[in-house]
Amino acid sequence: MEPQAASRDDLLVILRHSPHGTSWLRDGLDAALVAAAFGQTVSLLFQGDGVLALLRGQGSGALGQKGTAATLEMLSLYDIDALFVDAEALARLGFAANELMLPTDSVDAARTAALLASHRQVLVF
Amino acid sequence: MRYALLVQGAPYSHQASHSALRFAQAVVARGHTLDSVFFYHDGVYNAARLAAPPQDEPHLPDAWCDLHAQHATALLVCIASALRRGLLDEREAVRHGKVGHSLEPPFELTGLGQLIDLGQRCDRLVTFSP
């Protein structure tokens, strides 16, 4: 393994699916929470339709799922504060970063590449 | 090198688990160690004890069991994903008052913490998703 590995952040979880339609978002968040509970440094990157998870005012959904907004609100309790959002996806869907329910850092393709390089491990959901 | 796999696709619906199995076989054929396969999301269906695919198609649950028998690869199934989808071992079936069980050793129901542990413990954790 490369010598700088020890100084890199532990885990980057990439969330690419919108809430409610599938369980991908919930499953990805669950993995992130468990990793944080195990003492890992966890960052989240919301990409593509995954940025929709961060819109304000989400309920539990028409299909009886619990929804993910409550989980997102708990992230800081797990010390998951590094939240990144794909700027291009946000723009494509017509939203601005200040409309989101949590403070996030907007990233372009170059920053995304840097994020991938700066984490020891990446899980994509 | 020590490998672990994360499998998230349902067998026969998606390529993910078929590709994962081939990758697993290649890993051990090249002399590497395949520590564990972790089944998450729809991947838990790979552990279905009652799966009965047509005889001229690969039997994925049996193939995973062969991998365990020959190379001691642990077959770990996320318990939260599994119970929701009706995959219960004997103990969980009794606990939930079900008449039969749908998952048996060498597949083991376990928590997501095992996945995180694999990520820390193995040199490579490779994901197979639909």
What are the tens digits of pLDDT across the range B3-52? 999 999 999 999 999 999 999 999 999 999 999 999 999 999 999 999 99
Q: What is the pLDDT of residues A5-53, one digit of tens each?
A: 445 789 999 999 999 889 999 999 999 999 999 999 999 999 999 999 9
Q: Is the pLDDT at A4 greater than 70, yes or no?
A: no
For residues A101-119, give the mean pLDDT: 97
Q: Which domain holds residue B65?
A: 2-128
d(CA B13, CA B36): 23
What value, to the nearest 5°, has the Cα angle with vertex B17 and ends B78 and A89? Answer: 80
CATH number, domain containing residue B59: 3.40.1260.10
Query: What pLDDT score was predicted for residue A7?
Result: 52
Distance, CA of B9 to CA of A125 (rounded, Å): 12
Cβ-proximal residues to B101 (8 Å cutoff; 6+ apart), any chain: B49, B88, B89, B90, B92, B93
Facing A123 at nearest CB: one of B117, B123, B127: B127
Q: Using the 8-state DSSP alphabet, how is residue A68 labeled? A: S
Tally of structural domains, chain B: 1
Question: Among residues B20, B47, B78, B82, which one is catalytic?
Answer: B78
pLDDT of A86 reads 97
Amino acid A21: pLDDT? 86
Say what the pLDDT of residue A5 is: 43
pLDDT tens per residue, range A53-69: 999 988 776 677 788 99
CATH 3.40.50.300 fits A3-124, yes or no: no
Q: Does the pLDDT of residue B53 top 90, yes or no?
A: yes
Domain-wise residue ranges, chain A: 3-124
**Res A61: pLDDT:** 66
Which chain A residues are closer than 8 Å to B129 by Cβ?
124-125
Residue B26 Cα distances to A5, B14, B42, B43, angstroms: 27, 20, 23, 20
The reply to whether the predicted model has a pTM over 0.80 is: yes
* A interface residues, B as partner, C-beta within 8 Å: 1, 11, 23-24, 27, 30-31, 34-35, 37-38, 40, 121, 123-125
- Position A67 scores a pLDDT of 85
